[in-house]
Amino acid sequence: MAPAERELPGARTKEGSSLINASLAHPAHKRVAEETRRELWRTILRESEARYRHEFMDADEREEVWSRIVCLRRRLGIKNA
C-alpha cells in the first residue's frame, strides 16, 4: 500500500470533512460567524477613529483613514454623527 493510501489515525476522510462542513452550515453557526465578523469591524472602526483623532498624518493618509471609517460605518449601519 502506498504511503498516501495508508489510513492514519485521526485523519479526516472526505466523508468526515463533509459532515464538518454541513455542521458549520447550521444557522446558529452562521449567526455566530456574522456576529464575530461584525465585532471585528467594530474593533477596526474604533481603532481607525482613534488613529484619525490622535495621530499626525499627511493629507493622503488622513483621507484614506477617513474613507475606511466611512466604509465601516456604512457596513455596520452606523449614522455619521
> Average per-residue pLDDT in the chain?
79
Q: What pTM was computed for the model?
A: 0.61
Residue 44 near residue 36 (C-beta atoms within 8 A): no
pLDDT for residue 69: 96
Instruction: Give the domain extent around 29.
Output: 16-76
Between the two ends of the chain, the Cα-to-Cα distance in Å is 67
Is 4 inside a domain boundary?
no
The answer on pLDDT for 8 being more than 70 is no
Report CA Rg, the chain.
Answer: 22
Confidence category of residue 60, pLDDT binned at 50, 70, 90? very high
Is 8 inside a domain boundary?
no
Is 67 inside a domain boundary?
yes
Q: Which amino acid is at 35?
A: E
Measured on CA atoms in the order 22, 25, 28, 33, is the torsion positive or negative? positive
Number of domains in the chain: 1
More confident: 25 or 52: 52
